[in-house]
Structure formats: C-alpha cells, structure tokens
Amino acid sequence: MPVQASQAARHGDAVIFACDAGHLPYAWVAALQIARLEPERHFDIVIASPDTGAIPPHLRDGPVRWVRLDVSAIPQIRHPNARITLGTFYRHLLPDLLQDDYARLLYLDTDTWLRRPGIQGLFDRIAGDWPLAASLTFLHQPELRTRASRRNQERSRRVIGDLGDPSGRFFQSGVMVMQTGPHVAAQIGPRTLEFAAERYDLLQKHKLGDQAAMNGAAAALTATLDPRWNWHLARWRQGQLIEEFDPFILHFAGAEKPWLISDDPTVTAVNPAWFADLARWDPDFTPAPAPGSLAWRALNPRFGVAPIDKIQRRLRAWRLAWKHSRPPRMGAEGIAAMRQLIETAEVR
C-alpha cells in the first residue's frame, strides 16, 4: 500500500518521530532543531502519526515530511503507566511501513534535543547489516549508578532477568537506529507487538511498555549504540557531565520535559527555544510548570498560609541551588564505565 505523505521521500535515510496528536507539537519542535543544526543534511526529517489531520495548515509545508501511520496492528492493551498512551508503540511500525522509502531510520522520542550536529556523520559511518541499534539503559547498568541509586539494583536484576538478553543487556528505546531491510527480515516490529500482547503480564509486572516488549522480543538482535546519542538519565544530564562527554542528543526521559517550566538547569537552558517554537505551532501556547517545580508550587501552595508557603519555597529553592551546584557523584568508576560504553559501542 502506498505511503500517504505530505511530500515524496528525497533521500535514502531519515530521522523520524512517531506519535499521536498530543505529542505532534513536541515532535515538530525537536524536528526543527535538527533542520537548523544540519542544513547540509542528506537525510529526510519525518513525523509519522495517525493524526496528521491535527497539523496546523500553516505548518504542513517546510522541512518536515508528514506521514500518515496506520496503527491498527497495535495490540489492544493498556499501557502500565496511566499517563503514557499506546503511541509509544508506533515506532515499531516504521520499518515495515517505510522500507521502500528508506534504508535506514534514526528514530527519536519527542522529548529529545539535538545538542550538536552529527546525525549525517552517524548515517555515513553505518556499516554491516544488523537490524537495530540502541543505547543500553543507564538505569540498569550497575557501574553507572550513584551510591544513592543502588537501591534500584534488585529491580534492575528482575527487569534484566525477565526481559534482557542472555548477556544481561537491556536497551533504551527512545533513540534507535533501524536498518529497514534487516529489521523487516527479522520481523522485529511484529515480534515486538506480539510480545506485548502475549506477555502483557511482564509489562504490568515491571510497569514498562514498548521498551519492555522490544527488549523481550529483540534484545539479542540489537547492536549497542554510542550512549552519546541517547543521554537519557537525569543524573547524567548534569552540566559538568554534559560538558565532559559532549553528547549529541539529550533525552529528557522522566518528569522533566523541555516543554515545561522546570527546576532542572539543563531543561531551563533549552526552554526558550521550545517555548518560541511551540508558540509558532499554537499562538495561544502558554508555558506550564512541571508538577512539583517551584513555579508549580507558587500556583499550588502547600499550606495555604502565604508567609509559610513563601518560606517553604525559599527553602526548596536553596536546596535545589545546593543540589545543582554539587559536583557529579559518579566517581572515577562511573566516569570510566561510561567512557568504556562509548569506546565499545558497535554503532557510533
């Protein structure tokens, strides 16, 4: 069946986002950043969605190729996290849909941000016929944990035991490189959706969605991607670590989103660009505070007594300033482990 798209494919590779209507503005903002930083690119920038009718008419033309996505193959399950929709499964439909248009896809979540150019170089360096590449999940790499996060060690063992590959690898699905021919030949998309339907018990057990299904179905077929392409854990998004490792893509996985007013300095640094472009998508856009942030607490006072609430916010502001001024607590072991992940990555 022909692909329904706003324009024909121009190149053999593409960066692609896939989402439902609620995340279309965020995908568009992240896509614009790529277009700005890589003006000499030889790859398409694509947003795939079943809800292309929600695109503002004045934005249908431009650097983004809009592709209509048939999502009828998504299993009729409920995402274990109530705030997340089944739109997270859309990414696993892309190689089958676009195999005639593109040889390689770089899939990105909508909460990603390209810090510096490099995507064209990534495409240029790809070799071999592996079907899928993704970064290892920082959370489940014991050597990357801070002392305070070691309480997650038992949870990580359970996740990897149920869903990882035999060597103990577990991948983060927010940034992935897919070679469409090998991906389709290995049936990774259908196998991931089948796993979600047949082993929904494991998704519920670990409160994970498509990432659990992808690992359960295809972790053993996945190549390791340089973690600088998916710098995704808040404790690794601290300024000093970003400066030291110079990642390509920041991934704001978790509650701190770049489209919300945040207490996280890394988020705050990109907020102006996000807010400006979101206002282009919707002239009535008004930035909202992230739940629990200082801006949110100003609108939702805890005690309802102005002097007390003011003191409480000041104390929290002081604590946050102290927290973000401290040096990273990774230690030499964690820094060395991250460098090792970068140096041994199969796809860089």
Q: So what's the pLDDT on residue 53?
A: 95
Distance from chain centroid for Cα 271: 17
176 sits in which H/E element: strand 171-179
Q: So what's the pLDDT on residue 151?
A: 63
Instruction: Confirm if 46 and 35 have CB atoms less than 8 A apart.
Output: no
Q: So what's the pLDDT on residue 324?
A: 81
Please give the Cα distance from 18 to 91 (Å, whole number).
6
pLDDT level of residue 147 (50, 70, 90 thresholds): low
Residue 1 has pLDDT above 90, yes or no: no
Instruction: Confirm if 103 and 180 have CB atoms less than 8 A apart.
Output: yes
Q: Are strands 13-18 and 44-49 parallel, antiparallel or unpaired?
A: parallel
> pLDDT digit string (tens) for 110-134?
999 999 999 999 999 999 999 999 9
- Phi and psi at residue 52, to the nearest 5°: -65, -15
Query: DSSP string covering 26-93, please?
Result: HHHHHHHHHHHH-TT-SSEEEEEETTGGGS-GGGSSSSEEEEE---TTS-S---SSTTS-GGGGGGGG
Q: So what's the pLDDT on residue 189?
A: 98
Instruction: Confirm if 230 and 251 have CB atoms less than 8 A apart.
Output: yes
Residue 145 has pLDDT above 80, yes or no: no
Q: Where are the alpha helices (DSSP H) in the chain?
A: 24-37, 94-98, 119-125, 153-163, 180-185, 188-198, 200-206, 210-218, 239-245, 265-281, 294-299, 306-325, 331-344
Q: So what's the pLDDT on residue 13?
A: 98
> pLDDT digit string (tens) for 182-197?
999 999 999 999 999 9
Please give the Cα distance from 59 to 50 (Å, whole number).
17
- Phi and psi at residue 252, to the nearest 5°: -90, 60
Q: Among 46-55, 76-85, 212-221, 290-299, which is the least confidently predicted range?
A: 76-85
Residue 312, amino acid: Q
Q: So what's the pLDDT on residue 311?
A: 85
Residue 149, amino acid: S
pLDDT level of residue 327 (50, 70, 90 thresholds): confident
Residue 73 has pLDDT above 60, yes or no: yes
> pLDDT digit string (tens) for 263-318?
999 999 999 999 999 999 999 999 999 999 999 999 999 888 888 888 888 898 88
Q: Where are the alpha helices (DSSP H) in 101-179?
A: 119-125, 153-163
Q: Are strands 104-108 and 171-179 parallel, antiparallel or unpaired?
A: antiparallel
Please give the Cα distance from 336 to 100 (Å, whole number).
42
C-alpha pair distances (Å), 5 with each of 55, 67, 180: 13, 4, 18
Please give the Cα distance from 229 to 135 (Å, whole number).
8
For the chain, the average pLDDT equals: 93
- The pTM score is 0.95
Instruction: Confirm if 204 and 216 have CB atoms less than 8 A apart.
Output: no
Percent residues over pLDDT 90 in the chain: 76
Residue 148 has pLDDT above 60, yes or no: no
> pLDDT digit string (tens) for 242-261?
999 999 999 999 889 999 99
> pLDDT digit string (tens) for 11-24?
999 999 999 999 99
Residue 68 has pLDDT above 80, yes or no: yes
Q: So what's the pLDDT on residue 82?
A: 81
Please give the Cα distance from 340 to 145 (Å, whole number).
15
Under DSSP, the state recorded for 225 is B
Residue 329 has pLDDT above 90, yes or no: no
> pLDDT digit string (tens) for 156-210?
888 988 998 888 899 999 999 999 999 999 999 999 999 999 999 999 999 999 9
Q: So what's the pLDDT on residue 125?
A: 97
- Phi and psi at residue 34, to the nearest 5°: -65, -45
Between residues 48 and 2, which one has the greater pLDDT? Answer: 48
Between residues 321 and 116, which one has the greater pLDDT? Answer: 116
Beta-bridge partner residues of 46: 16, 65
Percent residues over pLDDT 70 in the chain: 98
Burial category of 319 from C-beta neighbours within 10 Å (exposed 0-12, middle 13-18, buried 19 and up)? exposed
